[in-house]
Structure formats: structure tokens, C-alpha cells
């Protein structure tokens, strides 16, 4: 019978000795499952080639975090509302739900993730699901599951279906033995938080999948991101968002870092634009898979002084959180992003004065800030 002959042939291949000079046995592809966890040794995945006229189908995981909603809005202007799908495991606010496609997606559920990619013909995937630095230290096991196991699922799905994959990294991917002022793209990385460790893991795994399977993996190391329309999410740099909320709400702000703690920062508009630009950059222009990007660098005291120019009655005090301070002291003070500027033309628009003015004006005429001005 044909089936018997095939099985005999397979058995003969499996019994061949490497010492005879024959090639190492590899099962025919029809005997291999479709799961990326069964990738054969000679597999070679390549991302779909995109032309300028192609309309991308985009999925954003972890979309209800600080950056996901803004990124969805930004990308919908570029690709159309129905072509950008926001996803999370939480119930979205009504305005988010009504603004464009939203679906439930648990990145720890591999089958569910595959179904979403296949059923919605996804071509680009932005993976934002992660527990941030301070929150991750409070729940290491959950951070390990979300930040590492979830990443593995995303990598496998992206490789299997030829997606272009973006995974953000962070200043937290560096540690106390890294050069801090400035920090280059390539240097020692020995972070001491589960968040940082998971991001170094993501950078290396993405680069490995690029070289091993041809996965079109792209990554930016974000500095602290400041956004007017989102709440702080448990990150060490979130004081730079919180100060504006507190200035508007009650005119008082208590900072949990020392006044002279210098960290790189960026306004969200620059961050979203950089993310799209690196995703649209021609593959031949990229000399690496992970880039630093930067815009400005300041201390809590310098930020407070700039805010006081607009809200002179603002009262700023300091109550240092030793956990967050230790994290901040191990992070870069300035990013060297010269490779991003050289390879794909990165340029920032917002410095500290523009950042503060934009953040305070965002809250409108009814705010304490507007009344004070």
C-alpha cells in the first residue's frame, strides 16, 4: 500500500547513520505540524514584501496601555480606521470602543492569537503587552509570563504568517554597568529589573528570529514617554506625566525620584512618529534590528522649573521611593541615537519647553493651568 511504502521510507531515513556521510534526516514537510513550535531545522520564513501601494492590516496587542490607543489613532489616519485593530484583555472605554475595531486578545493564548491574525489578514503586528518596571518588580511571576511567554507566542505567530513585527524596548534594557551618558546602541546590558531583563530577551530573540527565520523584526528603545491623554502606568519615568495631572488637579506634586535624577524623555507625538517611520523604512536602510531613539533629557527639578513658568503657584515636594530610585540610577542619563538619525532619518520635534507648553495646553480652558495663566 502507498502508506506503508511511505512509512518504510521514513523509517529508513530515520535509521541512517550520520557517520556514513549522509545528510542529517529531516522529515518531509507533510509530516510536520503547522505550529511554530515544530519548526524544522531548514525552515526559512520571510516577511511579505510590501509595496508603497499596499494597505496594511494592523494588530496592536496590549492596546489599552499608555501608547496603544494613541498609536491606533495615529495609524488609522495612515491606513484607514478599519485596517487597524486594537486589542487587550480589558474592557475598553466607550470612546475607544467606538473609535475603531477592538477585539479581545490574550497573548498567553497562542491559539486565540493565531486565529486573530488569520481571520483578520494581519500584515503588521505591534506588540505592546507588557508589565512596566515598578509594577513588574511587585509581581515578578506575572511579568515573566506576560513579558516573556507572551513574547514567544507573538514571535512564533509573526514568523509563521510572515508578519512585520514591532516590539518596543526601553531605557530599562540597560543596567548599572552600562555607559550612562551617553548610552550607545551596542554596549553592556545587565538590567536588574524583570522588565529590563525581559526587554533584553525580546531584543535578542527578535534579532535571532530575523537571522534564523527571516522574520522582519523591528524594535526601538523608548525613553520615558510623556502623554497628556493617558494615566501613569507604573513606570519609573511616570513622574514626568504625573506632575501635569497634579498641577492641573490640585496645584501640588510629590515626586518619588530625587530632584537631580536625569533620564531621557520624549513626547508621545515624537514616539508614535518614530514608530511608524522605522516600520516603513526600507529594509536595506536598517543596519540593526534595535535602535535607541531620543529627544530630550532632564531631571525632575528641571521639569518642575519649566512647569513653574506657567503655573507659579505649583508646590513641588520630594518623597523618594527607594525602589524606583534604584531603578532610575541604573538607567541611561542620555541616549545616543545617532544610528537612527543616520540610517532612517530620525528627527525629534519636541524639546522641554515645547513639551511643557503642549502638556499644559492640552487640558483646555477649564483647567487650573488655564486659570493660573
Which residues are catalytically annotated?
Answer: 195
CA distance 164 to 125: 6
Phi, psi of 61 (to 5 degrees): -90, 155
Closest CA to 227 of 202, 211, 244: 244
Burial of 237: CB neighbours in 10 Å, binned 0-12, 13-18, 19+: buried
Grid coordinates belonging to 243? 506632575
b/e per residue 200-223 (b: at least 16 CB within 10 A): bebbebbbebbeebebbbbbbbbb
What DSSP state is assigned to residue 91?
P
CA distance 250 to 109: 43
Q: Please, which contacts does 118-121 make with residues 24 or more away whose CB atoms are closer than 8 Å? A: 118/161, 120/57, 120/59, 120/85, 121/57
CA distance 369 to 366: 8
Closest CA to 298 of 223, 242, 244, 231: 223
Helix, strand or coil for residue 263? strand
CA distance 38 to 41: 9
CA distance 373 to 370: 5
Dihedral Cα 201, 204, 208, 214, nearest 10 deg:
100
Closest CA to 290 of 215, 211, 213, 202: 202
CA distance 309 to 373: 10
The CA-atom distances, in angstroms, between 205 and each of 155, 157, 171, 241 are: 8, 14, 18, 31
Amino acid at each position: 500500500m502507498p502508506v506503508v511504502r511511505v512509512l518504510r521510507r521514513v523509517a529508513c531515513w530515520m535509521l541512517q547513520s550520520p557517520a556514513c556521510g549522509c545528510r542529517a534526516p529531516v522529515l518531509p514537510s507533510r509530516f510536520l505540524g503547522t505550529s511554530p513550535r515544530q519548526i524544522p531545522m531548514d525552515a526559512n520564513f520571510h516577511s511579505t514584501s510590501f509595496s508603497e501601494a499596499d494597505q496594511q492590516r494592523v494588530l496592536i496587542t496590549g492596546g489599552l496601555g499608555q501608547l496603544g490607543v494613541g498609536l491606533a489613532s495615529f495609524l488609522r489616519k495612515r491606513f484607514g480606521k478599519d485596517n487597524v485593530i486594537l486589542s487587550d484583555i480589558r474592557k475598553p472605554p466607550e470612546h475607544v470602543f467606538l473609535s475603531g475595531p477592538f477585539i479581545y486578545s490574550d497573548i498567553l493564548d497562542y491559539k486565540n492569537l493565531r486565529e486573530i491574525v488569520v481571520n483578520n489578514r494581519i500584515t503588521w503586528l505591534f506588540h505592546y503587552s507588557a508589565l512596566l518596571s515598578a509594577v513588574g518588580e511587585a509581581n515578578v511571576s506575572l511579568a515573566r509570563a506576560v513579558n516573556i511567554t507572551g513574547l514567544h507566542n507573538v514571535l512564533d505567530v509573526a514568523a509563521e504568517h510572515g508578519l512585520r513585527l514591532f516590539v518596543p524596548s526601553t531605557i530599562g534594557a540597560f543596567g548599572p554597568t552600562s555607559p550612562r551618558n551617553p548610552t550607545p546602541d551596542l554596549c553592556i546590558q545587565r538590567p536588574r529589573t524583570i522588565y529590563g531583563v525581559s526587554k533584553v530577551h525580546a531584543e535578542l530573540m527578535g534579532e535571532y528570529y530575523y537571522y534564523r527565520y527571516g522574520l522582519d523584526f523591528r524594535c526601538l528603545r523608548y525613553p520615558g514617554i510623556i502623554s497628556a491623554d493617558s494615566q501613569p502606568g507604573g513606570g519609573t519615568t511616570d513622574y514626568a506625566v504625573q506632575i501635569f495631572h497634579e498641577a492641573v488637579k490640585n496645584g501640588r506634586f510629590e515626586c518619588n525620584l530625587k530632584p537631580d535624577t536625569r533620564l531621557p524623555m520624549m513626547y508621545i507625538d515624537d514616539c508614535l512618529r518614530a514608530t511608524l517611520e522605522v516600520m516603513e523604512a526600507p529594509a536595506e536602510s536598517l543596519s540593526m534590528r534595535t535602535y535607541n531613539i531620543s529627544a530630550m533629557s532632564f531631571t525632575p527639578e528641571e521639569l518642575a522649573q519649566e512647569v513653574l513658568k506657567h503655573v507659579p503657584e505649583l508646590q513641588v515636594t520630594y518623597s523618594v521611593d527607594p525602589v524606583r530610585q534604584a531603578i532610575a540610577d541604573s538607567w541611561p542619563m542620555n541616549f545616543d541615537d545617532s544610528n537612527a538619525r543616520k540610517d532612517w532619518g530620525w528627527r525629534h520635534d519636541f524639546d522641554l519647553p515645547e513639551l511643557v507648553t503642549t502638556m499644559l495646553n492640552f487640558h483646555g480652558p477649564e483647567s487650573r493651568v488655564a486659570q493660573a495663566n
